[in-house]
Structure 1
Amino acid sequence: MKQSTLILLFLHLSLWSQCQDSSTFKSIDNYLRETIKINEIPGLAVGIIKNNKVIFQQYYGTETLESNRKVNPNSIFRVYSTSKLISTVGVFQLVEKGKISIEDKISKYLANLLNTWQDVKIKNLLTHSSGIPDMIRFTDISVDATDAEVIARLTREKMEFETGDQFRYNQTNYWLLTRIIEKVSGQTFEDFILKNQFPESENSILFSSNSLEMLPNRVVKYNYNADTGKYEKSTNIDGIRAHSANGLAISLPAFLQWSIQLNKGDLLKDGTKKMMWKPFDFFNKRDVFGYGWEITKINTIPSYGFSGGNVSAYRIFPENDLSIIVMSNGYKFFPVQYQIINHIAGLVDKNLIDPYLSAEESIISNFMTKDYPSAQKAYYNNKAKNPKWNFENTLNSVGYTLLRKGMINESIKVFELNTRENPQSGNAFDSLGESYFVAKNYTVALEKYKKAFELDSQNNNAKDMIMKIEKAMNNN
């Protein structure tokens, strides 16, 4: 680690120490410790920047479950899709230098593209509005395949939708951005990012989309197996083609330094950042997303960021001079990276306290940790605070979390609650149908899917499941 990085780390730790006696620090620390306890998070690192100063930097738990090595400032967390933020900044650095334009067609830089790809622009890759097929959907694309082989495979597929029409998250988009960055810069993607965003932190950042690769100080990600009741190491391997989309591994001090430089204008000018954070004009007029950045509002206050692997997240609140970084290596019940950021934002800045989000966090926690009658009672207590609040998406997410954890009966109860709360929601009945289908109660599953289709005739999933169940029943 370079001397300048060590000095930066010392300054960070000094500011952290100054903050330790404050009530805000204690509130944040207590909240994080309780969150870790409830979700059984193995390891966690959280950093907060206010007015370009690190006001909180704390480490919890261990890097791995197989050792007692504590998470520390040298621990390198793989941030998965949060990597896209760094890649996006790289694209806009080239825009700022006049090397590319977001209005450029990708065919200007990439050869041998299908005719249907010819009108896709760089802005469509950034906003996931390209319509190009998502390469991770095709199991016959090997991580060792050449770029030409991947293109050849994808060209056998139809466009998923009209370019510009909608947001649909897609890893192909960022692989193509990688190729454009390399074509224009004359460098490998990794070298370009390190040189232009992390020139003094090379020992605190690396790229690897191979979960099995043994790397110094890299924290191990775990997935909870509900059947065994144990955490298991992630074995996902995506290869170097995924580096720009999910391969960044970084220490908290390096990430904090990057955030300060972004906010101060060292990485991008203010005008360029405004361009990057501007909502894209999707044809469907429904989706909301910036140019590579998720847009979230709390009490009408905008913030920008992204998350990755359900274990990391970054959010910046420009109007409040606040940035928050969360990096972890697993969770037992429910991904909490957004909950942590929203909760901390309210603790740091009262203008960012959102009663709805607080109620939502409480509802999720109750259903994950309490028996159903108690959780349901707490749900109605939260709902009573504001009868107009709607928690359809929250209950749907909780139900699916329980279903994935093998808690089928509990998931059915939550989905049933959601249909009672939202009797006109085809999606709520669709989810309930799926839980009964998993429970092998096909008669009730069919009934719920029919209700879902009755409420929403555009629900192709419900339509397909009705046909599937009826066919199976007739064959029996």
Structure 2
Amino acid sequence: MKRSAFVFCLFALAASFFLLSDSFVFSQESNRANQLEGLSSYVEKKMEEWKIPGMAIGVIQNDSVIFLEGFGFRDIDKKLPVTPQTLFGIASISKTFTAATIGILYDEGKLGWNTPIIDYVPDFRLYDEYATFHATVRDLLSHRTGLSPFSDLMVYVWPYERDEIYRRLRYLKPSSSFRGWYQYSNVSFVVAGTIVDKLSGGSWEDFVEKRIFKPLGMTHSNFDLQIKNVEDFSYPYKYENGQYVKLPFRHRPAGNPSGGINSSASEMINWLKLHLKKGQFDNRQIISPTSIDMIKNPCIYNFYSEEKWWPPMMSSALGWDFQFYSGYHLLTKGGIINGFGCFISFMPQEKIGIVILGNNGVALELTHYLTYYIYDQLLNLNEFSWDKLIEDETPKYKVSSEKSSKEQQAKSEKMSYPREKYTGSYEHKAYGKAAVYVENGEMQLNFNTNFVWPLEYCFQNVFKTVYDGATIRFEFKQDTAGNVTSLEIQIEGTDFSVVFEKSNSK
């Protein structure tokens, strides 16, 4: 009898412990949710100041959603509201999915993280012979192949399919040594996607849909122009000359592995859950803990800042960026593409994840600030006033926009030579052909039938255009007789350039 009483008391004590534990966890999560009280009104205020039509925010802690809300409009004309289910273009956050597809292939024994790509994809070629025989998927996914950021124009300007970009990779001269320096590259993720195409026996898109979207319940997430296949989607916008302007959706399916996924805050919450539970979702192992750990590990230093409010150093992991924020281990990834700006992050030890999506490109900057602001609220940090920084940065954005508008209206100085001097066909072995011609009295540069850049005269033989917020400089080179022989294209403020030879040069 005494033994039975003892066992009963022991069982009751254990049950009480578990009930108290659950109660403590619930209380802790409830307290964290309370710490975000007032966030909604704060976000709405900042959206108005930054001129962002719509946003969606999701926050999880210990596998529980503690904040999930849509703000503003996904369609300004029809006054349709943003909901947690609204699809946005998530741009470069797509790279985190490509890293995961490589991890799944590793789990299946189809490739090795540190095995040269050429060992399992024999037709893989880079410009440099040493890099060709030593490059691994980790090199591709951490931006350390030496590929120039300029090569990204091959993804978003030229009309090549993914396999053609992969084939032309061998003609892309690197702008830094192999593994010598971090250089952001969309092309490297397109190549990683091509490897998934080759090893999976299907397409990267099919692989993501079957192996990630479906098991994670991301039933509405999709790719490229498929965003309009669902009812609840957002249009991309920019704010210009005092009004919102609806932008066209970017259509470059070849670049899907680097920036072509569309998703919502509610479905991206599941993506965060997968990473916080080491590759597991709903008690099913989608990707191994080994691969998740490999994806999170830093590979190469990529950023240094002396600003007291910014992490002093960041490194590139695989598809993610690695940093320490106030002593906490933090993985982040931002994205910007034609009127969409977004940011996702998680703290593995604290089991906190945050996703913020916006339908204006400048939202990328604000989503960064809001993310750290939310972490500070949840972790009771008060080392820095994000509120003050957000307020300080807002006027800079407005001044920048006004200055850009004025620059576009400025008249060019008189040209030194007739426009016809520069017209003709130009060619580069990797990028292909480009045509310069005069239309309605204006210089035009045509890379393909769907993409034309207007050339604004600057001085002597130099022209410029603005693309995706970047100023691109064009300089026509001459021989001693004054004949144009080539066209050098350079992204202003960088050392990255490429030279197209004129086809009819003597």
TM-score for the superposition, normalised by structure 2: 0.64
Match of 2:253 among 211, 218, 240: 240
Shift of 1:79: 0.6
Deviations 1:375-406 (A, max 9, x none): xxxxxxxxxxxxxxxxxxxxxxxx86664465
Q: Does 2:280 align with 1:264?
A: no
Aligned to 1:288, the other structure's residue is in SS state: strand
Alignment of 1:87-236 (within 5 A): 87-108=98-119, 109=121, 111=123, 113-114=125-126, 116=128, 117-118=131-132, 119-134=134-149, 135-138=151-154, 142-143=158-159, 145-147=160-162, 149-151=164-166, 153-199=168-214, 201=217, 203-208=219-224, 216-225=231-240, 228-235=241-248
Shift of 1:40: 2.2
Cα distance between partner residues in 2 of 1:241 and 1:73: 28
Alpha-carbon spacing, 1:110–1:34, altered in 2? closer, same or farther (3 Å):
farther
Match of 1:279 among 298, 309, 321: 298
Q: Is the 8 A contact 1:39 1:331 kept in 2?
A: no
1:414 aligns to what? none
Where does structure 1 lack aligned partners over 5 or more consecutive residues?
1-14, 370-398, 409-437, 441-459, 465-476
Q: Is the 8 A contact 1:48 1:323 kept in 2?
A: yes
Deviations 1:218-243 (A, max 9, x none): 21111222xx3322233353421111
Cα distance between partner residues in 2 of 1:205 and 1:333: 20
Aligned to 1:41, the other structure's residue is in SS state: coil
Q: What is the identity, as a one-letter code, of the residue corresponding to 2:392?
A: I
2:63 aligns to what? 52
Q: Is the 8 A contact 1:293 1:305 kept in 2?
A: yes
Q: What is the identity, as a one-letter code, of the residue corresponding to 2:190?
A: W
Q: Is the 8 A contact 2:298 2:318 kept in 1?
A: yes
Deviations 1:94-146 (A, max 9, x none): 22333211212222315162451513221110001111345433499633x34
Q: What is the identity, as a one-letter code, of the residue corresponding to 2:246?
A: K
Aligned Cα root-mean-square deviation (Å): 3.5
1:432 aligns to what? none
Q: How many residues align?
A: 365
Cα distance between partner residues in 2 of 1:308 and 1:463: 20
Alpha-carbon spacing, 1:402–1:305, altered in 2? closer, same or farther (3 Å):
farther
Q: Does 2:27 align with 1:36?
A: no
Cα distance between partner residues in 2 of 1:106 and 1:326: 35
Structure with bigger strand share is: 2
Cα distance between partner residues in 2 of 1:327 and 1:159: 33
Q: Is the 8 A contact 1:166 1:287 kept in 2?
A: no
Q: Is the 8 A contact 2:155 2:187 kept in 1?
A: no
1:323 aligns to what? 353
Shift of 1:367: 4.6
Cα distance between partner residues in 2 of 1:171 and 1:137: 9
Aligned to 2:357, the other structure's residue is in SS state: strand
Q: What is the identity, as a one-letter code, of the residue corresponding to 1:111?
A: D
Shift of 1:254: 1.3
Alpha-carbon spacing, 1:174–1:283, altered in 2? closer, same or farther (3 Å):
closer
Q: Does 2:358 align with 1:355?
A: no
Alpha-carbon spacing, 1:138–1:245, altered in 2? closer, same or farther (3 Å):
closer
Q: Is the 8 A contact 2:162 2:190 kept in 1?
A: no
Cα distance between partner residues in 1 of 2:226 and 2:176: 31
Shift of 1:306: 0.3
Q: Is the 8 A contact 2:56 2:69 kept in 1?
A: yes
- Deviates further, 336-345 or 198-207: 198-207
Cα distance between partner residues in 2 of 1:198 and 1:463: 38
1:344 aligns to what? 374
Q: What is the identity, as a one-letter code, of the residue corresponding to 2:176?
A: F
Structure with bigger helix share is: 1
Q: What is the identity, as a one-letter code, of the residue corresponding to 1:73?
A: P
Alignment identity in percent?
17
Alignment of 1:270-309 (within 5 A): 270-281=289-300, 288-309=315-336
Alpha-carbon spacing, 1:181–1:326, altered in 2? closer, same or farther (3 Å):
same
Aligned to 2:374, the other structure's residue is in SS state: helix
Shift of 1:83: 1.0
Shift of 1:147: 4.3
Aligned to 1:337, the other structure's residue is in SS state: helix
Alignment of 1:19-34 (within 5 A): 23-34=34-45
Q: Is the 8 A contact 1:42 1:331 kept in 2?
A: no
Alpha-carbon spacing, 1:147–1:290, altered in 2? closer, same or farther (3 Å):
closer
Q: What is the identity, as a one-letter code, of the residue corresponding to 1:301?
A: Y
Q: Is the 8 A contact 1:312 1:327 kept in 2?
A: yes
Deviations 1:16-64 (A, max 9, x none): xx96996423222222122112112111110000111000001111111
Cα distance between partner residues in 2 of 1:161 and 1:338: 29
Q: What is the identity, as a one-letter code, of the residue corresponding to 1:278?
A: N
Where does structure 2 lack aligned partners over 5 or more consecutive residues?
1-25, 281-285, 305-312, 409-455, 459-490, 496-506
TM-score for the superposition, normalised by structure 1: 0.68
Cα distance between partner residues in 2 of 1:76 and 1:199: 16
Q: Is the 8 A contact 1:164 1:282 kept in 2?
A: no
Alignment of 1:395-434 (within 5 A): 403-404=403-404, 406=406
Alpha-carbon spacing, 1:463–1:167, altered in 2? closer, same or farther (3 Å):
closer
Q: Does 2:100 align with 1:85?
A: no
Cα distance between partner residues in 1 of 2:317 and 2:225: 25
Q: Is the 8 A contact 1:124 1:130 kept in 2?
A: yes
Alpha-carbon spacing, 1:241–1:350, altered in 2? closer, same or farther (3 Å):
same
Q: Is the 8 A contact 1:47 1:56 kept in 2?
A: yes
Cα distance between partner residues in 1 of 2:65 and 2:191: 35
